[in-house]
Structure formats: C-alpha cells, structure tokens
Structure 1
C-alpha cells in the first residue's frame, strides 16, 4: 500500500506533485506511522512514533555508497566476479529487486548499465530522489547513463523487458533468528515492503531473459532459490552469490 508524503514548505510543490503522480503517493499534512518526508533537500522514509529509528534515504553521493565506490574491492568484489564484470566492463544488467540500489550502484560504478526495478512505491520514490541528487554531483555525471529506474514488479519486468546480459536478484529473506535485533534499516524494510514470498517464481523468467547469466544474492545459510542448484557460487563476507550460466561472458 502506498505511503503518505508529508507536506513541507521546503518541498517544491511541482516536485511533490510529480512524486505523487509517478508513485501513487498521497500528500498529507500530518504524519502517521511510516511515511515519506522531506529533510535537507532529500526524500526520506520515517516513522512518526519511532524517532530512534532514524531516517532512511538513498544516498549515492556520500556515506557508505561513496566510500565503497572509492575504496572498495572494485572488480575483485564478490558481486563483480559473480556478474562477470571482472571479465567485461559494459554489461547490461537488470536488477529486478533493487531495494535501495546499493548493489546496482556498485555494478554501475564498475561500468555496467543497470536497470533498477522496484515495485514498492515508497522505495521506488526514494530511488528516484537518490538518482536525482546523485545526477547533480560532479563526480557522478556518468550515473544518468548507467542507472535507470523502472517502477514495476519484478515478474512483470522479467516478462516484458528487452534482453540483457545479466539478471540480478536479491529477494528479501527473513532473518534466521527471529528473536535477534534486526538492523534498523532491515526492520523498516520488513515493515514497509515485507518478504518476497514470490521470489522462487522469479528464477525461471530470469533465466529466460538473461543472455549470459542470472546472479542470485542469498544469505550464506539460505537454500538455493527455487531449490535449483547454480553452476557456481561466489562467497562474499556476509552473503553468497549463486550464478546460473546461460552463456560465457
């Protein structure tokens, strides 16, 4: 269900109207529960009764995303190896479960052209605003050519999108220990987005669409998506990337 966008005198009226039209949001004058708000020239996700939760936003120009781009492992990262960017730079990638776009940003910063698919209206709006701000940053002037947002369900995108080299899937996965304290951001995502109960149904159309390979990001303890064993897996620090190969890169 779409969330409300809280009215703010600092939020440009035309931009607010555009967000509401594109993502089915409702402009509200009072905050209630999870909602979208305007803070320091950025769209943020916020909970009116959980001040310690903190704001969630998409920020490609600074913070962790920028640090990873400048100081991360580059083509040596597990995700880069899994997607084949250690072999070929200008691959086309459909990230069918984009979330906050962090993995897509890593792939784009390594040369891939990435379509970010996000079905949740609030998260798609956060992505849209993050891309807007990043495009105005001098050292990210390449971003508009390499990252495009598609507000759609993953299944629809996989069935209707044109051919790509790589399909990347990172479906939401329930935490292993339900009594453990989940990270604040993950808690918000589970509240607002929920789990991807249809995740298994994505693998078959992904394999049909991808010209080269499908890459599925999973927690290390998780079963294979749709119980289908991959051709290989690349292990990262906290996750593994299962790789289903259709053709060599």
Structure 2
C-alpha cells in the first residue's frame, strides 16, 4: 500500500470560457477551485485551459505542466516512426504474425505504452488508480478521439479508474485479457535532475509504487498468456516468481511471465 503523503492540489481555470468546465471537474474530483491569488497555497495545480487539462507544480522555476498528448511530441513520433511490431514492447506482449492480443495496462500513467500497443492493433484497457491522472488520461483520449489520424486507435483503448489489483481480481471469464502489462514506478533518484519531469511530478502526486509485488501476483492469477513487467535495464525483477524470459532495449527491460493458464493449454 502506498504510504507516501499526498501533495496538496487544487484546480483553476485559465480563462473565463473554461470556468464552467473547471467547476464541474473540481466537483467531480473533490478539489478546491481557486483563482490566481491562491495558487501558491498548493503544491500542485490542475489547469483547465481552452485546449486541454494540465498538471503543474507551483515551486519556483517549476517546469512546464504535463498533459496527455497522443497526437504530437514523442508519442506522435513513436506512432509514426517507432518501428512497428519489431519494437521490444511489441515482441514482449506477443505481437507476431496476425496476433492482436487483448491487453490490460494496469499502470496506465500518461498512456504512452497503451497508445503504442493500440496503434499496433491491440485492444487495450488502461487502469489508473489516481483520479487526477485518470482525469488527464480521459482528457487526452477525448481530444484524440476527435482527430481522424488516430481516432481508430483510440477506439481500441478503454479507461478504467480504480485499484488495478482489485479490478483484475474481479474480472469474469468473458473479460480476462491475453496479456497484463505492468510498468511500476521505481523509487525516485537522489538527483531529481536525472529524472524525467513527469516521473518526478508523479512521485510528488502519488509516491512510488509500494504494492507492485501484490499487483504482479494478481496479474499472474488472471492473464491468459503472459504478464509483462517493464523495468529499468539495471533494476532487479519484482519480488515474486522468476521471469520466464526477458526482452531488452538500450535502457529498458521487459520481464516476461508465462501464466499458468498458458502453460496448461500448451500441455493439452
């Protein structure tokens, strides 16, 4: 269980035309709605802008706010030029031939890996337990759904808000995925300059994952074919069973766990 103290957070509208939406979202998330004079009374701010929903810090010289973007930046570039099914993540989830496995991304975050898998043909359920991060994801999905270049990809993505282990354990037979994908946050490094700004901000918002091993156990009990855990290349595997195999890139490693269901089917 995550025992890190949550950061104080509020919501603000950046313009008059955003005020109605901001008020509705503040009520939905149970957050205070503040004006510019009150921003620095909080550590984090959700900004409702005319274009999107953003999350930023109020510290001196804070980096630019983050938001979910499935159209431009690194995500858009990866979608257009990422190497298709030859990428390590595609191999890790079993994208070969005409196979398009159903995947649960149990640690959705900003949805980058889920979007990539969906763009390669997978149907992906994104699970996010932080209501704030889920709101950012929902905003990004809604904006991308209106863009013809990626709307078909977005149709293969479904967001579920809740505790991933609980959601996975509650799945009935008709909704069990082929693959469950985990990308747990690892502890923040001492030198924050070495950490991507969104990772540092997520640590500030919800802290590092403290229950990754329990999530792995839940995933192993449900996935039809395999569980995939994304790790920094030098990091140890999660506590629990030894991975069945691994696929590595320059900086990352994907630990593969063949599930009991798949082992049984292979012997029949």
TM-score (norm 2): 0.85
Instruction: Check conservation: 1:80, 1:107, Cα contact below 8 A.
Output: yes
Q: Among 173, 190, 194, which residue is 1:178 paired with? A: 190
Relative to total residues, which structure has the larger strand share, 1 or 2? 1
Deviation at 1:17, TM superposition (A): 4.7
Q: Which runs of 5+ in 2 are unaligned?
A: 1-5
Written as runs of structure 1 = structure 2, the 5 A alignment for 1:82-97 is 82-97=92-107
Written as runs of structure 1 = structure 2, the 5 A alignment for 1:87-236 is 87-161=97-171, 162-175=175-188, 177-179=189-191, 181=193, 182-236=195-249
Q: What is the CA–CA distance in structure 2 between the aligned matches of 1:109 and 1:197, rounded to whole Å?
A: 31
TM-score (norm 1): 0.91
Match of 1:11 in 2: 18
CA RMSD of aligned residues (A): 2.0
State the number of aligned residues: 247
1:78 and 2:84 matched: no
Partner deviation per Cα, 1:6-61 (whole Å, 9 max, x = no partner): 13423261x43553455444433332321100234110001122444111000001
Instruction: Check conservation: 2:18, 2:50, Cα contact below 8 A.
Output: no
Kindly tell me: are residues 166 and 205 of structure 1, through their superposed partners in 2, closer, same or farther at Cα, counting changes over 3 Å? same
Q: What is the CA–CA distance in structure 2 between the aligned matches of 1:186 and 1:50, rounded to whole Å?
A: 18
Instruction: Check conservation: 1:94, 1:167, Cα contact below 8 A.
Output: yes
Find the structure with the greater CA-based Rg: 2
Kindly tell me: are residues 189 and 70 of structure 1, through their superposed partners in 2, closer, same or farther at Cα, counting changes over 3 Å? same
Where has structure 1 moved over 6 Å in runs of 4 or more?
A: none
Q: What is the CA–CA distance in structure 2 between the aligned matches of 1:208 and 1:87, rounded to whole Å?
A: 27
Q: What is the CA–CA distance in structure 1 between the aligned matches of 2:257 and 2:117, rounded to whole Å?
A: 18
Q: Which runs of 5+ in 1 are unaligned?
A: none
Match of 1:28 in 2: 34
